[in-house]
Amino acid sequence: MRRKLIAGNWKMNGSLEANRLLLSGIKSDLGHPGCDVAVCVPAPYLAQCQTELAGTAIGWGAQDVSAHEAGAFTGEVSASMLRDFGCKYAIVGHSERRAYHGETDAFVARKAARAVDGGMIAIVCVGETLAEREQGETATVVARQIDAVLTALTNEQLARVVVAYEPVWAIGTGKTATPQMAQEVHAMLRARIGAKEAGIAERMAILYGGSMKPDNAAELLAMPDIDGGLIGGASLKASDFLGIVRAAS
Ligand code: 13P
């Protein structure tokens, strides 16, 4: 059985004070979750997470990582810097980075390798746009996105990868993929990974992301190939985030 993971992606939200309230709300009601729990926060707040979350059941991570190791890359944050602040996870290839920062499949794969080599678990995001879905291209697009990672990484590296299927049209829109729609893509992704190595596919967590909320989480998480969630908006409210954690536990 794969252990489920519920990871919050705060995106560019938060402040020291707001984070303190949110984290203490999550900590106080978390109990002993039956799944892995993490928050992926803006880089400046990683130190705060290290202080507030060390020794708790909540892991933390970054929302991106540089594809480079070190050097003259103004504004970039390296994997080793993220590890200095205790990051367990790094999201790579979020659709917002692909869309607004021109990140290509190959570049995302390099970042995934960098995160893993730096000692973190890479959460690799894939997903189609509305236009791509309407043109019947969902399978082609997500296959292309996952193949870039499967080609660039060794099996050892892939053992430290989590995939997040996030249909772009479901992100922040309140429109969720139905459990059946999501399951279909998750199963396709797992088959694709399995073509490279069956054991890795069997063990790899494939999360769903896109308007996951406490009231739709249970039915999504009940699907055989949905191993958790990458949560945007609902991760900014302790009670909503905890509602999803409970649905996964
Ligand atoms: P929402 O949960 O706000 O739709 O965001 C999903 C997401 O992009 C998580 O990475």
Cβ–Cβ under 8 Å, residues 170 and 211: yes
Verify whether residue 94 is a known catalytic residue. Answer: yes
pLDDT at 179: 97
pLDDT at 69: 96
CB atoms within 10 A of CB 200: 18
Provide the residue type at 174 as one letter. Answer: G
Ligand 1 and 172: CB distance under 6 A = yes
pLDDT at 111: 98
b (16+ CB within 10 A) / e for 142-167? bbebbbbbbebbeeebbebbbbbbbb
Name the active-site residue from 96, 103, 166, 186. 166
pLDDT at 83: 98
Tell me the pLDDT tens digit for each residue of 101-138: 999 999 999 999 999 999 999 999 999 999 999 999 99
Q: How far apart are CA 189 and CA 142, in angstroms?
A: 8
Q: How far apart are CA 204 and CA 3, in angstroms?
A: 10
Ligand 1 atom nearest residue 210's Cα: 4
Which of 41, 124, 231, 244 should be mutated for ligand 1, with most atoms under 8 A from CB?
A: 231
pLDDT at 22 over 90: yes
CATH architecture of 5-26+34-53+62-248: Alpha-Beta Barrel (3.20)
Tell me the pLDDT tens digit for each residue of 202-222: 999 999 999 999 999 999 999
Residue 134's alpha-carbon distances to 23, 59, 129, in angstroms, are 39, 37, 9
Tell me the pLDDT tens digit for each residue of 42-91: 999 999 999 999 999 999 999 999 999 999 999 999 999 999 999 999 99
pTM over 0.85: yes
Ligand 1 and 212: CB distance under 6 A = yes
pLDDT at 98: 98
Tell me the pLDDT tens digit for each residue of 170-213: 999 988 889 999 999 999 999 999 999 999 999 999 999 999 99
Q: How far apart are CA 190 and CA 163, in angstroms?
A: 10
pLDDT at 1 over 90: no
